[in-house]
Structure 1
Amino acid sequence: MLAHNPSSQHVDAFDGRLAIVSHSHPSISKGGAEISAFTLYKGLLDLGIDAVFIAACSEDDRGRLSLGSSREHAVFYDTRIYDHFYQLGSAFTTSALRELFIKLKIDVVNFHHYLNFGIDAISKASIRLGLPTFFTIHEFLSLCHHHGQMITRPTRLLCHKATPEACHTCFPEYSRQQFAIRQGLVSRTFQEVSGFISPSRFLAEIYIKAGLPAKKFAIIENGLAHRPSSPMPPRQRHGDGAWVYGFFGQINPFKGVDTLLKAADVLVKNPSAKDRVRIRIHGNVIGQSEDFMQAFDKAIRTNNVVEYAGPYNNANVSSLMSECDYVVVPSTWWENSPVVIQEAFAVGRPIICTGIGGMAEKIVNGVSGLHFRLNDSADLARVILEGSNNNLYENLLAGVPDTLDQRDMAKRYLAFITTSIKRRVPNGIAISTI
């Protein structure tokens, strides 16, 4: 049975030094996993817990790294010595991480990723020291070689289960035997982990179907470091003023901006919609093809429904979202618990999302937002128009749920970790969760 948002009654019972380990530092990269890890670390400090933050950093980024205090540490790695298929790092990196655990007298470890360290670092650097070791799952990289997205290649269809046969179909350059070995490396490592944390039930259930024991899982939502003290009031629209639909995030092949742009093309051709709707896109353009960039630039120039607001600082996201009526999450992969959902809910904004995976779990259709069909720009345009209704909007505003801050998140982690450690058997494997 999955533990969902375990209670915080065990916070005072935790006694020891806890290391939060991330595959990158927020001063280098601001992806969801590293932001979540750093938010947890800050929440632990707020609670008076003896916590440290350890990040992997490439030698090339050494000059960009900015550690905030003596509690933050980096393990440097050489990007040339990393196997992205088997997810194996260098012996030097593993040894450096192990020695840091010893030097800092770490008692408990929570990995938020093994990327850049190598999956073998979980066992060699932590578990073999006898340290209770917990792993927070943020995506499907340990199951899926396609960027951990669980979508097929090259057709980009949703994948429901990663098997050596299915993975070989996507990557014929690797044999079924190689994929079986890859899965075996992951399985043997995860068997030794004391407990798993997932921000969504959907993600946890995928891993449980892949063979991980449900009794080792807890569902704990990501917290926010910059949560407003209360939801912001609805945006004021004057008369027949346009409804504003905001996109926030990296503009990459998996986030669905191409679907959003095609929906804008549908809307601009609708006489009743083109003056009622504005789509505002915030974010960095990353990893897009030349064809996409040409289409993106053309849409911004010629479609008066769309505007590009450029990159943004996460510290300003609440203010930017408050200037929108809805936040749109049109991702083309399953997603887990993207931070943009919590950010939107924190300012009191309903969400329009692809009705799959972690998005469909977090956003209840007709209650806290609206769903549209995967990759269906016409359906997205329909839902955007449907959302431009005052009565519906007021109902959705009332359905927006509360969010966690960094302290709430840390309390739930401590409750799960403390209870799991108490229920460990002599060989160090957790046998149940709360």
Structure 2
Amino acid sequence: MVCTLALMALSSHAQFKIDVSGVGLTQLPVTVAAFKGQEALSQKMSEIVLADLQRSGQFRAINVALGVMDESTKPELSALRQAGADALATGSVTKLADGRFDVRFRLWDVVKGQDQGGQGFVVAALDLRMAAHRVADYIYEKLTGDKGVFSTRIAYVTKVGARFQLWVADADGENAQSALASPEPIISPAWSPDGNQLAYVSFESRKPVIYVHNVSTGKRKLIANFKGSNSAPAWSPDGKTLAVTLSRDGGSQLFLLSAAGGEPRRLIQSSSIDTEPAFSPDGQSIYFVSDRGGAPQIYKVPAVGGNVERITFTGTYNISPAVSADGRWLAYVSRVSGVFKLHVMSLAGGTATAITDTVADESPSFSPNSKLLVYATQQQGREALMTSTLDGRVKARLNGQGGDIREPHWGPFFKP
């Protein structure tokens, strides 16, 4: 079974293309009715909610003509049952006297005929998209039992000509805000666990140095400007420590550094090139890339130092490790027959699977609920920012900024 769905006109410039493939794919059939009052908006709330749900890979849309209804309307569910819908979301958007908007919604279990609750938000016009993402989060959690990630954020880098920019955007790629622009390269953005800061590498000093950047205020602090290269920052789960790659002692080696700066501590004594650290979710281990076996492979070492364990054995060139928040999965990029493909490995079983058919994948990063990956690639000759389910069956091309798109990183859960 191969099916392609296109969700069009979420705004005047937004488009999501969701490719669904696979045999026996189970998706919850859901209907999202047009929110009462949304016809006056340039961005339709119900369409944003539905796009979020479909992009997750867990839902498929059931289109039923329902007429105008809002969260207070008790729907006639028989037509929805006949159409095969299991759930219905209704809602409204009302502009208040002060210019803000009152957004309300309700979720119905169509099969059981039960009210599944709802919520309401009062938001500024600029936050209407975020309100729609929060609606989708509620629906996703109610119907799957897992926390939704639609109100989270991603960071990524673009290169247009000689100009580099670090962007912060909604999880669907929309509402991108520039955090930094520079004529010199910006690489390796990494979200802090509280979602307030980004660590990244800048070449503004004509060498790689590491900054920690406060996303809300725009203020930043230089935390690693040692002799040689300073690169590949990765946050510990408690946000107190960064694992970094430094060449201050010759070669590229792993160090631990306080997030406030200070003197780094070398993690491993090795003559090999060790780089691209990534903490395990419990903070006890660090995954990294090393050429100690003759070619780049992924290894693991205790966060306090100690014996090194090799993790990847399939393929001769494996880089860019990312570990899911539930500790079950390792994503990485493997060079296969000269092309770079995204792989997902079960850490319990050690089985790895290529989940893409593209050939220039890079920089995978897990969603905070461990159900999706964001990565950069090339698709039909164009740079693309993509999400994928872990089995590769549902992929969505996000509406990223133009140019050469690089190094996306998915932020933590939204904290109200």
TM bucket, shorter chain: under 0.3
Structure 2 length-normalised TM: 0.24
Structure 1 length-normalised TM: 0.24
Structure with the larger RCO, 1 or 2 (CA within 8 Å, 6+ apart): 1
The answer to which structure has the higher strand fraction is 2
The answer to which structure has the higher helix fraction is 1
